Structure 1
Amino acid sequence: MPYISTPTRPAAALVATAALLGGALAFGAPDRAAAAVPDTIALTVTNNSGRAEPVYLYDLGTQLSSGQQGWADASGTFHAWPAGGNPPVPAPDAAITGPAAGQSLTIRIPKFSGRIYFSYGRKLDFRLATGGLVQPAVQNPSDPNRDILFNWSEYTLNDSGLWLNSTQVDMFSAPYSVGVRRSDGTVSTTGRLKSGGWSGFFSALRAQSGGWSGLVQTRSDGTVLRALSPLYGVETGALPANVMDDYVNRVWQKYTTSTLTVTPFADQPAKKFYGRVSGGVMNFTDSSGAVVTTFQKPDADSVFGCHKLLDAPNDDVRGPISRTLCAGFNRSTLLTDPNQPDTTPGDFYQDAVTNQYARAVHGQMADGKAYAFAFDDVGNQESLVNDGAPQQAYLTLDPMS
C-alpha cells in the first residue's frame, strides 16, 4: 500500500522520556502553570531559507482536551478529521500559506501533541485511513510526497507548558530551528546548523563507507531532498542489515565477563541495574540480585529504531534500561564506559562502527544538540526548547547551504 504512517515518537513521548532520563524539562506547579498557559500561543514562522518557492504550513495533531485527531488553522481553531477510508482518502486541505522568503508569519497553535509541517513548492498529500491520519513516509518510493522538499517539528503544548523540538529521527531534510520566549523575555533556541552545515552533513554521509551514502534521496533533477534515518535505511535495504553487528557482538562478548551498570534516573543515583550476558542473553538484576529484565542480542533495526529487541515500555525498569542501552549502542559508548548512560559528548561516535548518521547530524549542529535517534534525549543531547509559561514560539526556516 503506498501510504504508510511513520512511527516517530510523538512529542508527548519525548516529554515523558526526557523527564524520566534527566532531560531539562521543568514542570511548574499545575495550578500556576495552567493559569500561565492559554488555550493557544503565538508561533512566528520566519522564512530565512532564501528559496523562492511558496511555503505551506500545517499544524496537525491530537487535541489534548478531547483526544481527537485533527488540524488547526492559522487562528488556532481545531478541526477534527472526518472519517477515513480503505484505501485511504484525501484529507481536507489543512495548508496555511506560509511566509515568502525574508518574511515572517505569526499563527496560533493550540494545546496539541502534534507536528508543525512545512513544505516548499507544493502542498503535502495527506490521507485518512480508517485508523486516522496517514502521514508522509518517504522511505516508500510510492509515497506521493517523495519528491517534495519538506520537514516538520514536533510539539506538545499543555497546561504544564510548551515542548518544541527540531527532529531528525526519521530524516535529515529542509533545515530549521525552533525557539521559545519565556516570561522574563529571554529567548531559547536550538536546531540551527553551523554555517555550511547542510552541505557538510551530506558530504560526511557520502564519504562514509559501508553503505551510508545510500540514505541520501534526490529528485530526478538532482536536487538533494533528504537523508533517510538509518532505521529506514535498514528497512528499505539502502543500508546493510548487518551494519551494527560487529559492535553489538563486541558488546555481548565484553559483558560476558564483566558487568554493565545502568543508572537510568538522573535524580535517583542510588537506583542501579546490573547487566551480564549469559546463555547469549543480557540479564539485568537489581540491587538484591533478582533478575528484572532480559535482552536478546539486538540487530541494527532494533538499535536504530530503539524498538523490537530494545523495546522500551513506559515503566520503571525495562523501559529506562532499554533507553539507556539504545543510546549507548547508537553512540558506541558501551565498550568504553561500563557505567551508563555516558553523558559526555566527546565520548560519542568514536568507534568505527557507530550510528554515522547521528554522528554527522550532531557534528553539524551549532549547539551540538539534535534528535538523531529516538532516545537522543538521554543525557540531554536533544534539540528541544521547553518553558512552563511560554509567551511566544518560533520556527525559523534556515538556508540549505
Structure 2
Amino acid sequence: MPHTITRPTLPLVAATALVGAVLALGTPDPADAAVPDTIPLKITNNSGRGPVYVYDLGTQLSTGRQGWADANGTFHAWPAGGNPPTPAPDASMAGPAPGQSTTIRIPKFSGRIYFSYGQKLDFRLTTGGLVQPAVQNPSDPNRNILFNWSEYTLNDGGLWLNSTQVDMFSAPYAVGVQRADGSVSSTGHLKSGGYTGFFNALRAQPGGWGNLIQTRSDGTVLRALSPLYGVETGALPANVMADYVGRVWQKYSTSTLTVTPFADQPNTRYFGRVSGNVMNFTDSSGRLVTSFQKPDADSVFGCHKLLDAPNDAVRGPISRTLCAGYNRSTLLTNPNQPDTSAANFYRDAVTNQYARAVHAQMADGKAYAFAFDDVGHQESLVNDGSPRQAYLTLDPLS
C-alpha cells in the first residue's frame, strides 16, 4: 500500500518554504558561494554489517519530477507505473563494506537516502509515482528487511540533512555536513548501548508500548513503529492519550493557553480557551483566528487530522506548537507555549513514550521522533548554506 510521510521533516520543509521553518532558517545571503549542482556524500559503515545497499530517491527541484540519482548524482526520472504497482528500476548503489567508506554525489533534490542491510529494498511504481516502504503493513515486501533512511534537501540555499524517527526507529545512523571553513557539524549518534537501550525502554513501558517492536521470524529485532502507526494498526490502544487530552481540556476551560509560535516574533501571540468540544484561539485584538476539535491519539501522534497544520501564517504555526506540547506533555505544566526546555518534556505519565525513549538514547539529545519535533530546536538536523561535503555514518546495532 502506498506510503507518504505524515509531515515532512525540516529538510523537506525547507524546500517547500513552510511558514515557521523559513523564519527559523532565515534567507540565504546572495553573497554566499553558489551551491554546486551536486555535492559529495561520504557514507561510512561502522555497523559491522553488510552488504549495504544505498538509494537516493526524491524530487528534482528544477523540474518537480520524481526519480532517483546514481552514484555520480545524475538524475533519472521514474517511468510510468501501474495499478497494481509495477517494479521500479533498480536504483540501488553498492554501499561500503564494514569498516569502509564510499562516496557518492547527491544532486539538488528533496528526498531520501535509503540504506538496507543484507538485501535490496523492493520499490514499486503506481500511476501516482513511487510507493515508499510501509512496514506497518504486514504484507509490505520490505517488512523483513533491516533498513532505514535519512531525509535531505539540497537547493540553492544550501543543504538540510537529518536523521529521522518520525515513521520508525531502526538501524542507527548519524548525519553530518562540512562547512566552507572546513568545520564539521554532525548529529544522530546514539549513546553507547543506546540501540538496545531504546528497545528495552519500550518493552519496560506498560500500556502496550512494547507492541511497537517488529521482529523477524528468527527473532532479529528490525524496528519499532512510531506510535502513529501503533494506533493505526492496533498495537497501541486508541485511547492511549485520552487521559492527558482530557486534563488539558479541563484546565483550559477555566484558564488561557498562550501560544507564541515564532521565536523572533514575541508579540505575535494567540490565546486558547476551551468551550465544549472546541479550543478556540483569538489574537491580541480578541478576534477568533482558528479552532481545534478535541484531538485523539491519531491526531496527536501524527500532527494531522484534528491537529492539521496547513502552510499558512496562523493555524499551521499554532498547530505545530500544540502538537509538540501534546507529544511532550508540557501543556499542563506551562500555559505559555512552546515550552522549549527539554528538562520539562515527557514528565507526565501519559506522554509519547516512544519519543521520550528516542531522545533519551541520543548522544546529543536531538531527534525527529515526531513530525514537529523541530519546535524548540529539538530536531536532529544539520544545515549549511555552502556545504562542501555531507556525511552519513552507519552505526552499530548495539
TM-score range, shorter chain: over 0.9
In the other structure, the counterpart of 1:39 is 37
In the other structure, the counterpart of 2:197 is 200
Find out whether 1:334 has 2:331 as its counterpart: yes
Taking structure 2 as the reference length, what is the TM-score of the superposition? 0.97
**1-structure distance, mates of 2:320, 2:364:** 23
Give the unaligned 5+ runs of structure 2.
none
Counterpart contact for 2:6–2:304, Cα < 8 Å: no
Local SS of the residue matching 1:382? coil
**2-structure distance, mates of 1:284, 1:390:** 41
Shift of 1:382: 0.2
In the other structure, the counterpart of 2:185 is 188
Aligned length, in residue pairs = 396
Counterpart contact for 1:18–1:378, Cα < 8 Å: no
In the other structure, the counterpart of 2:28 is 28
**1-structure distance, mates of 2:291, 2:155:** 36
In the other structure, the counterpart of 2:84 is 87
Local SS of the residue matching 1:232? helix
Shift of 1:280: 1.9
Shift of 1:87: 0.3
In the other structure, the counterpart of 2:154 is 157
Counterpart contact for 1:18–1:380, Cα < 8 Å: no
Matches within 5 A, 1:247-262: 247-262=244-259
**2-structure distance, mates of 1:24, 1:365:** 23
Letter in 2 for 1:20: G
Letter in 1 for 2:288: V
Shift of 1:20: 1.0
Find out whether 1:294 has 2:291 as its counterpart: yes
Matches within 5 A, 1:282-361: 282-361=279-358
Shift of 1:224: 0.2
**2-structure distance, mates of 1:16, 1:205:** 34
CA RMSD of aligned residues (A): 1.3
In the other structure, the counterpart of 1:138 is 135
Counterpart contact for 1:18–1:377, Cα < 8 Å: no
**1:373/1:208 Cα in 2 relative to 1: closer, same or farther (>3 Å)?**
same
Letter in 1 for 2:13: A
Local SS of the residue matching 1:36? coil
Shift of 1:18: 8.1
Give the unaligned 5+ runs of structure 1.
none
Shift of 1:149: 0.1
**1-structure distance, mates of 2:148, 2:23:** 24
Local SS of the residue matching 2:41? strand
**1-structure distance, mates of 2:17, 2:190:** 25
Local SS of the residue matching 1:320? helix
Letter in 2 for 1:398: D
Shift of 1:14: 5.7
Local SS of the residue matching 2:31? helix
**1:20/1:340 Cα in 2 relative to 1: closer, same or farther (>3 Å)?**
same
Matches within 5 A, 1:230-241: 230-241=227-238
Letter in 2 for 1:4: P
Shift of 1:25: 2.7
Find out whether 1:246 has 2:243 as its counterpart: yes
Counterpart contact for 2:14–2:153, Cα < 8 Å: no
